[in-house]
Amino acid sequence: MLPGRSRASVLVFLVPPLLLYLVAVALPIVQSLVLSFFSWDGVTDLQAVGFANYVKMFTADPIFWRAFANTMVYLAVCLFFQLGVSLFVANLVSYAGRGKEVAKTLYLLPAIISTVAIAFLFQRIYSYEPPGLINQILSTVGLGDLARPWLSEVNTVLVAVSAPEGWRFTGLYMLILYAAILAVPKELEEAARLDGASTWQVFAHVRFPYIRPVWVTTMIMASTYSLRGFDIPYLLTNGGPGQASELLTTYMFKTAFRSTDFGYASTIAVFIVIECIIAVGLILLVLKRGTDNS
């Protein structure tokens, strides 16, 4: 504690940030919680409905469950890129010779492009008529039969709207993991290698345990960001065709601002928050078990 501080000085520094945080984050959370127990279209009077919104959501709304299942697929695709591919590339970069800095910069590039621009880009990449990049490549390599309108087919649309989100942040997580790999003591790996350990063994027994804490942070970041993913599916398909690419976030947004059902939308929003908290809890739980074992 700083000598000579006063209660007044603490307040001067603390109140402005706290006030903004309350207005922008804390109060809306409380309001959403309250609203989730009401039915309200924004015009007529609020109507208290008790737990009716929650009952409807869990028992009588197939779209909600569809959106929830879709969100899990979306999460899986994002994690494949952001945890799997990024870890692979981070390792590759650590073994590469020259050009590391350039590679890092270029690899990060998609992360600075706005989601709207990315949505435009992928609309063209997935396009069927005129043939987009993917369909052209397929027909060039003689797999023309596989060409399809990726964004309007029920079976492909969900993965198609998930992949761009995974792709654009691969570079970010690669950088973070690469920074962690740099911190692994070289002598440890060298010693293991001299003892005849293969590269895979060095990775699994020396490198990965060492970067594990950072990997868990990465996992929490990637999971919570993916669970709140909204922009690209909203812009590419707006949840369609039907509900084939509807996520909880797009469903919540439509319920609020298309159907102006603020009460039910708040119920879904509360669920999204709980979902994020559960995800973080699960990851930390698994991490704790993992470290206890090792």
- Greatest Cα pair distance in the chain: 78
Task: Examine residue 47 and tell whether it contacts another protein (CB under 8 A).
Answer: no
Site mask, another protein, residues 201-220, x = CB under 8 A?
Answer: x-x----------x--xx-x
String marking each residue 179-198 x if it binds another protein according to CB under 8 A: xx--x---------xx-xxx
Q: Side chain identity at 69, as an amino acid letter?
A: A
Nearer to another protein, 32 or 245 (CB): 32
Q: Please state the length of the chain.
A: 294
Instruction: Say whether residue 290 binds another protein (CB under 8 A).
Output: no
* Total Cβ atoms within 10 A of residue 102: 9
CB nearer to another protein: give 73 or 108.
108
Structure tokens at 150: 């990726």
Determine which residue in the list 41, 51, 99, 191 makes contact with another protein, applying CB under 8 A: 99
Both tokens of 227, joined, read 């669970």
- Smallest distance from another protein to CB 155, Å: 23
- Alpha helix positions (H), the chain: 7-21, 27-35, 52-59, 62-79, 86-95, 100-108, 115-125, 133-140, 157-182, 186-194, 199-202, 208-227, 231-236, 248-257, 262-293
> Which one among 31, 155, 259, 291 touches another protein, defined by CB under 8 A?
31
Q: Which of 55, 69, 76, 92 binds another protein (CB under 8 A)?
A: 92
Pick the piece of the chain touching another protein (CB under 8 A) from 58-66, 71-79, 148-156, 170-178: 170-178
Phi, psi for residue 47 in degrees, rounded to 5: -125, 120
* Nearest CB to another protein, comparing residues 99 and 185: 99
Does residue number 14 form part of the binding site for another protein (CB under 8 A)? yes
Identity (one letter) of the amino acid at 31? Q
Give the binding range for another protein (CB under 8 A) out of 61-69, 115-123, 144-152, 237-245: 115-123
User: Does 62 help bind another protein (rule: CB under 8 A)?
Assistant: no
The span of 49-57, 64-72, 119-127, 155-163 binding another protein (CB under 8 A) equals 119-127
160, 198 Cβ separation under 8 angstroms: no
Q: Residue 38 — φ and ψ, nearest 5°?
A: -125, 165
* Number of residues this chain uses to bind another protein (CB under 8 A): 108
Residue from 70, 91, 237, 245 in contact with another protein (CB under 8 A): 91
Stretch in the footprint of another protein (CB under 8 A) among 60-68, 69-77, 83-91, 151-159: 83-91
HSE on the CB side for 168, CA within 13 Å?
21
3-class secondary-structure state, position 281: helix
Under the binding rule (CB under 8 A), the answer on residue 43 touching another protein is no
Which of the residues 127 through 156 are near another protein (CB under 8 A)?
130, 132-133, 136
- d(CA 251, CA 243) in angstroms, rounded, equals 9
Determine contact, residues 239/233, Cβ cutoff 8 Å: yes
Residues 267-286 touching another protein, rule: CB under 8 A, are 269-270, 272-273, 276-277, 280
Which of 127, 107, 81, 101 lies closest to 236, judged by CA? 127
Q: Which stretch binds another protein (CB under 8 A): 69-77, 104-112, 146-154, 284-292?
A: 104-112
